[in-house]
Amino acid sequence: MNLIEARGLQRDFVVPRPTTFGRARVQTALEPTDLDIVAGSSVGIIGESGSGKSTLVRLLLGLDRPTAGTVAVDGRTVDAGASARTLHWLRRLTGLVFQDPYASLDPRMTAGQIVGEPLWALDVAGDRRARVLEVLSQVGLEPEMADRYPHEFSGGQRQRIALARAIVHRPRILVGDEPLSALDVTVRAQILELLVELRRTADLTLILVSHDIGVVQNLCDTVVVMKDGAIVERGATASVLRDPRHDYTRALLAAVPVIPAPPA
Ligand SMILES: Nc1ncnc2c1ncn2[C@@H]1O[C@H](COP(=O)(O)OP(=O)(O)OP(=O)(O)O)[C@@H](O)[C@H]1O
Ligand SMILES: [Mg+2]
């Protein structure tokens, strides 16, 4: 069953005039796009910088309004016509993690407040404090860390906090926009493992924007390749990576640094 269905989804931005006498320009960040995301699947979105990846996911989540086209999530329209009530419902359904674990955490709130905030904001029933501690432990943080502030954590721990916040309300869809790229290699591997574990235990649909094909290979059953605001290739990750159809996908794969095997 399709959890998300986008039809003819398009987004234009008006780029302001460079000078008083220059002309405003319309830039199409997303060409009319159709996309189906099956419930329980894991979709990787790859493509060079500026290809429209973030624009696409923002539209899918009702965080931005399309210039044209429609998005339905679980059969409900979430694009331009969506009511406040539908958008609230969509917030409950989704969790979001972004690239920069520092910018996305309010420095004046404790980790526990940050992680628990969606429970209050979305009016989720149950023992909220207990849920916060549970989810902190799930991402590998100690309960006493709930009372500390973001600056007291390392970058990797902050990204764990961001992840805990994204899953605390038990979303059915988890969206990561480059959630791993600000992290060093070891921390990245740990968070990647966490995401694999979450997928296994929580019946999540995962949408992951990444420059890192290795991450997509590990985590995603389907891959979507974007270029210049359009999807140029899509399919099962294994087959797309084994036998890329589009020149651009080939180039992207060729650009992946190959780590030499250690000497025997
Ligand atoms: N708010 C905006 N106003 C004007 N142009 C925008 C806006 N947001 C995005 N764009 C333009 O739309 C295009 C697609 O941007 P988008 O952020 O979706 O790319 P991306 O694939 O996520 O890139 P990156 O990998 O660098 O994050 C780019 O050319 C960008 O400059
Ligand atoms: Mg982006």
- Whether ligand 1 lies within 6 angstroms of the CB of 54 is answered as yes
The reply to whether 21 falls in a domain is no
The reply to whether 79 falls in a domain is yes
- Which amino acid makes up residue 54? S
Per-residue burial over 75-86, b = 16 or more CB atoms within 10 Å of its CB, e = otherwise:
eeebbeebeeee
- Whether ligand 1 lies within 6 angstroms of the CB of 52 is answered as yes
Give the phi and the psi of residue 202 in degrees, each rounded to 5.
Answer: -110, 5
Q: What is the pLDDT of residues 82-139, one digit of tens each?
A: 788 998 999 999 999 988 766 778 999 999 999 999 999 999 999 999 999 999 998 8
The reply to whether 19 falls in a domain is no
**What is the CATH number for 234?**
3.40.50.300
- Which amino acid makes up residue 247? D
What residues pack around ion ligand 2 (CB closer than 5 A)? 54
The reply to whether 263 falls in a domain is no
The reply to whether 96 falls in a domain is yes
SS (H, E, C) 214-263: HHHHHHCCEEEEEECCEEEEEEEHHHHHHCCCCHHHHHHHHCCCCCCCCC
The reply to whether 18 falls in a domain is no
Ligand 1: centre distance to CA 71 (Å): 19
Q: What is the pLDDT of residues 139-163, one digit of tens each?
A: 889 999 999 999 999 888 998 999 9
The reply to whether 259 falls in a domain is no
What's the number of domains the chain is made of?
1
Q: Which domain holds residue 159?
A: 2-12+27-254
Q: What is the pLDDT of residues 204-255, one digit of tens each?
A: 999 999 888 888 988 999 999 999 999 999 999 999 998 998 888 888 888 7
